[in-house]
């Protein structure tokens, strides 16, 4: 599998097949749907990274073009997202736990005091810019301290997270980091992104339990897709959905001066990319494809309800 540079370390971990098989009901059945139902979360990453990102994501949420989104708590536009959350209490907003800062001239630091999480920082004084660097340098105890700080900051601002996932896959890159991610999510009684994979290393399988919510698949665009093939990529993804729970991860934004400056020299997941994602998921054609393929849209908060 070719993994885009932005998500170099997104390795999804899987529940042992023997444990999964032992469950008497599928997630679909536990949610009240047929066993062969095609359930889909359409999920927007990176809220709070920029106003453009927020505006596009809020519009998509309001139109029900996406069913979920996640927030980068260390980023400057968090207060805008908190205001939206307050005014839209039913919005499905999780936390995009952030231990890296990838853009060329737009960077951020930690929520926890820097002297309490020094391994999170590179020599420039910002979070590590690449997944591999972050994963190889961050101490698990300091990662835990920071993700707890991010969760507590969000809660203090009136955000009620529905789930957790990981920016750039840093928390998926090492078993020690994934263990921290799972531990904290369970303590806060939040589902966390983990996806079934037949080739998951054995040392990772033991990190999940039969009480964890494990998705069946994830779909995300990658840099091998030509801009002119964008609509076709997503149309094929919808047509090829299998029974179970799938998440389509999109990155929404408007291709404006602000987002162009944020993502300068970074065409992968840049401003034009995010505009294409927005154009597709808000299009009538995409909505019709969902209807024609009998796809049932769900939310992370539906999965959160299964943990109670």
Summarize pLDDT for 154-172 with one digit per residue, the tens.
999 999 999 999 999 999 9
Q: Where are the alpha helices (DSSP H) in 63-201?
A: 78-87, 131-137, 140-156, 175-187
Of the candidates 94, 99, 120, 109, which has an alpha carbon nearest to the alpha carbon of residue 41? Answer: 94
pLDDT number for residue 198: 66
- What integer pLDDT is reported at residue 153 of this predicted model? 98
pLDDT of residue 202: 60
> Where does the pLDDT of residue 24 fall: very low under 50, low under 70, confident under 90, or very high at 90 and above?
confident
* Helix (H/G/I), strand (E/B), else coil: 127: strand
Q: How crowded is residue 105: how many other Cβ atoms within 10 Å of its Cβ?
A: 9
Using pLDDT thresholds of 50, 70 and 90, give the confidence band for residue 207: confident
pLDDT the model gives residue 196: 81
Could you tell me the pLDDT band of residue 13, with boundaries at 50, 70 and 90?
Answer: very low
Tokens of 219: 């779909």
Q: What values do phi and psi take at 46, rounded to 5? A: 80, 25
**The predicted structure's pLDDT at residue 9:** 39
Look over the chain and give the mean of its residue pLDDT values, rounded to a whole number: 92
Cα separations in angstroms, 168 against 17, 19, 228, 275 = 27, 28, 25, 20
Q: Two tokens at 197? A: 């994979």
Condensed to tens digits (0 to 9), the pLDDT of residues 98-156 reads: 999 999 999 999 999 999 999 999 999 999 999 999 999 999 999 999 999 999 999 99
* pLDDT tens by residue, 227-262: 999 999 999 999 999 999 999 999 999 999 999 999
Q: How far apart are CA 28 and CA 216, in angstroms?
A: 11
> Could you write out the DSSP letters of every residue in 21-32?
HH-SS-HHHHTT
Domains defined for the chain, CATH in brackets: 5-16+25-305 (3.20.20.370)
Could you tell me which residue, 17 or 60, shows the higher pLDDT? 60
């Amino acid at each position: 599998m070719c993994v885009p540079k932005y998500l170099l370390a997104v390795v999804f971990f899987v529940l042992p097949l023997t444990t999964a098989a032992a469950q008497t009901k599928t997630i679909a059945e536990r949610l009240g749907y047929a066993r062969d139902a095609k359930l889909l979360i359409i999920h927007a990453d990176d809220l709070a990274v920029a106003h453009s990102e927020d505006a596009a994501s809020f519009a998509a949420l309001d139109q029900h073009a996406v069913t979920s989104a996640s927030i980068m708590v260390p980023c400057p536009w968090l207060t805008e997202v908190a205001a939206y959350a307050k005014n839209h209490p039913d919005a499905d907003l999780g936390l995009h736990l952030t231990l890296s800062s990838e853009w060329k001239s737009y960077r951020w630091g930690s929520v926890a005091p820097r002297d309490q999480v020094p391994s999170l920082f590179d020599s420039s004084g910002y979070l590590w810019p690449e997944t591999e660097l972050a994963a190889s340098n961050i101490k698990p105890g300091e990662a835990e301290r920071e993700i707890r700080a991010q969760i507590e900051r969000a809660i203090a601002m009136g955000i009620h997270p529905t789930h957790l996932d990981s920016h750039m896959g840093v928390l998926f890159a090492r078993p020690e980091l994934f263990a921290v991610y799972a531990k904290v999510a369970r303590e806060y009684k939040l589902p966390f992104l983990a996806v079934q994979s037949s080739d998951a290393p054995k040392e990772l399988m033991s990190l999940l339990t039969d009480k964890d919510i494990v998705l069946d698949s994830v779909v995300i665009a990658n840099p091998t897709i030509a801009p002119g093939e964008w609509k076709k990529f997503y149309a094929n993804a919808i047509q090829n959905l299998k029974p179970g729970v799938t998440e389509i991860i999109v990155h929404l934004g408007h291709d404006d001066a602000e987002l162009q400056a944020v993502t300068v020299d970074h065409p992968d997941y840049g401003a034009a990319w995010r505009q294409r994602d927005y154009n597709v998921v808000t299009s009538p054609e995409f909505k019709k494809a969902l209807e024609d393929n009998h796809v049932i849209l769900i939310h992370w908060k539906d999965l959160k309800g299964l943990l109670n």
